[in-house]
Structure 1
Amino acid sequence: MNVLLVEDDADIGSFLIRGLKADGFDVTVVDRADKALGAAKEINPCAVLLDMVLPDGSGLDVCRSLREYGHTGPILFLSAKDEVSDRADGLMAGADDYIVKPFQFDELVARLRAHLLHRSVGMDERTRLIAGRLILDLETRQAHFGTVHIKLTQREAELLALLMHSANHPVSRSDIFDRLWATQGGVSLNVVDVYVGYLRGKFTDITRVGGPSIGTVRGRGFMLNMAGNSALSR
């Protein structure tokens, strides 16, 4: 799997190359915005790690260009800019994730692999998200597991879709907030816990028949556990 790294800091670039190669990835590095799209066309990377600020332009423009070109793999911003507005701009430009520097390498790889796993979650006719036997109909906002059906609100369906994309991997409160509420003023981080509670309540019947459960991974966030009931804290 070839990762395209767009990073002009030589020390960070060397650190990431060593770590990613040790973790089984091939790495192609460019240090300027004007080289990124050409490199992506040449190697067709499985994912792109993208600095926000580059010597000759903005990572936001690079991200938009990659999406316009047709790159469908994960794009993860790596940036020292840590304002909520910066994260929102990155996600709105088409990125899958936004990781603030300095970061722990293990967390970066975990997020990268989780996003790559997302791509293996099936879409049926672009209206249904499928993870194992769990099906989320994005048009009717109904979730199905066998003969059990639950009706969701729009925001609950969006939250479930996010957890399904990260099935068996925890998603932090801040990541959920950034993806679903960052652009909505006057909302605190606690809204994530509230909606996870709503979704858990509706998931009771699905979990009872052996379907997935929504657990809390202490210190890491929330996870859709495809094995059903588990020892995860509630």
Structure 2
Amino acid sequence: MTRILVVEDDPDIRSMLERGLTAEGFTVSAAERASEALADARETTPAAVVLDIMLPDSSGYDICRSLRSEGFAGPILFLSAKDEVSDRVQGLSDGADDYIVKPFDFAELVARLRTQLLRRKGLAERTTITAGRLSLDLVMRQARFGAVTARLTQRETELLSLLMHSPNRPLLRGEIFDELWASHGGLSLNVVDVYVGYLRIKLGDIARAGGPIIVTVRGRGFMLDLREASSDS
């Protein structure tokens, strides 16, 4: 059965999530402190983590960064009362796949959790994609151009994957937003520009090595320019 780790210090919410997710067919383990959560994740390797931000001994942001740095590739969903756009952006930047604001609808949480698990299953079936000489490992979240590599967050990986599926063709900001962020209420189209900026920085060494670059197409959006293709011809 699919194991879900719930990290929540409110005993009522934690108990409700344990009961509800168990009724939905998941195996559930629960923790109320960051230290317990990290120990559980290292021992059991859950399929996904539902994670509160405000915990007694640490921050959910810290847990998320620790899990990603240790190679955890499953979905991480933040569940928090912190509802500012800046909070959501930080959570997604730290490697989370989704951000749900309390109070929440349990059915929506389950739907989003299943969507992320299905997406991960699809990624596992196709672990690497290529565009020209650029390759992207979807599981390890690593871009490679020749001997040059770049480690990415999950959201940066999804953005680069989207651009790589349509190389040399502009994608509208709205197209990118609808694909990657439409389900995250409260976010605006500006989040696309923010993450394009992050991705450009991460791909800096690859660009300097003659690899693809992300260009802004005025009035349109963004495009992955496979400039190395023309230099080889």
Q: Tell me, yes or no, if structure 1 residue 142 matches structure 2 residue 166.
A: yes
Stretches of structure 1 lacking an aligned partner (at least 5 in a row): 130-135, 144-149, 164-170, 185-197, 200-234
Distance 2:161 2:92 in 1: 24
Determine what percentage of the aligned residue pairs are the same residue: 50
CA gap of 1:178–1:81, structure 2 versus 1, over 3 A, is farther
Quick check: 2:51–2:77 contact (8 Å CA) kept in 1? yes
Deviation at 1:41, TM superposition (A): 1.0
Structure 1 moving runs of 4+ over 2 Å: 120-129, 136-141, 150-163, 171-184
Aligned residue type for 1:172: S
Distance 1:49 1:11 in 2: 15
Secondary structure in 2 aligned to 1:57?
coil
Distance 2:67 2:190 in 1: 20
CA gap of 1:177–1:74, structure 2 versus 1, over 3 A, is farther
Paired residue for 2:91?
Answer: 90
Q: Tell me, yes or no, if structure 1 residue 101 matches structure 2 residue 102.
A: yes
CA gap of 1:180–1:117, structure 2 versus 1, over 3 A, is farther
Aligned residue type for 1:126: I
Quick check: 2:173–2:189 contact (8 Å CA) kept in 1? no
Deviation at 1:38, TM superposition (A): 1.2
Aligned alpha-carbon RMSD (Å): 3.1
Paired residue for 2:76?
Answer: 75
Aligned residue type for 1:63: C
Which stretch of structure 1 is more off in the superposition, 114-123 or 91-100?
Answer: 114-123
Distance 1:179 1:127 in 2: 27
Q: TM-score, normalised by structure 2?
A: 0.62
Cα deviation, 1:25-49, whole Å, max 9, x if unaligned, reads: 0110011011211100111100000
More helix by share: 2
Q: How many residues align?
A: 167
Distance 2:108 2:83 in 1: 17
Secondary structure in 2 aligned to 1:19?
helix
Cα deviation, 1:111-166, whole Å, max 9, x if unaligned, reads: 0000011112244533379xxxxxx97565528xxxxxx93337467447538xxx
